[in-house]
Amino acid sequence: MGIMSIRLDAETDRRLDEMARRRGQTRSRVVRTAIETLAQQSQGQTTPFGKMAHLIGCVSGGPRDLASHSGERFREMLARRNRRR
């Protein structure tokens, strides 16, 4: 494990203390989490697509035209729900 020392301005230092206190974590843990988050973002893993890429194409069966008539289906769903009330 590497050891690193960083210099923070007063405002950043205050924010780090606040985040650590709110999360119940050490300042070091908050910094490691922030670095991990930045690393994931740079690899595209925190975009909505990146977060669910493993799910795309994993379901078989069902209607193939779900997107082509979504407006009509949504209106029908709302109409059914309103009739039940």
Range of the domain at 43: 8-51
Averaged pLDDT, 23-48: 86
Residue 1 lies in a domain: no
Residue 79 lies in a domain: no
The pLDDT value recorded for residue 47 is 72
Residue 59 lies in a domain: no
The pLDDT value recorded for residue 45 is 62
Residue 2 lies in a domain: no
Most confident segment among 42-46, 52-56, 76-80: 76-80
Averaged pLDDT, 51-75: 76
Give the integer Cα–Cα distance in Å for 5 and 57. Answer: 45
Q: Is 43 exposed, middle or buried (0-12, 13-18, 19+ CB in 10 A)?
A: exposed
How many Cβ atoms sit within 10 Å of the Cβ of residue 25?
A: 14
User: How many structural domains comprise the chain?
Assistant: 1
Q: In the structure encoding, which two tokens stand for residue 75, read together?
A: 């209106």
Per-residue pLDDT band for 34 (boundaries 50, 70, 90) equals: very high
Residue 31 lies in a domain: yes
**Predicted confidence (pLDDT) at residue 46 exceeds the cutoff of 70:** no
Q: In the structure encoding, which two tokens stand for residue 6, read together?
A: 């960083």
**Predicted confidence (pLDDT) at residue 60 exceeds the cutoff of 80:** no
Residue 14 lies in a domain: yes
Residue 18 lies in a domain: yes
What's the pTM value of the predicted model, to 2 decimals? 0.51
Residue 57 lies in a domain: no
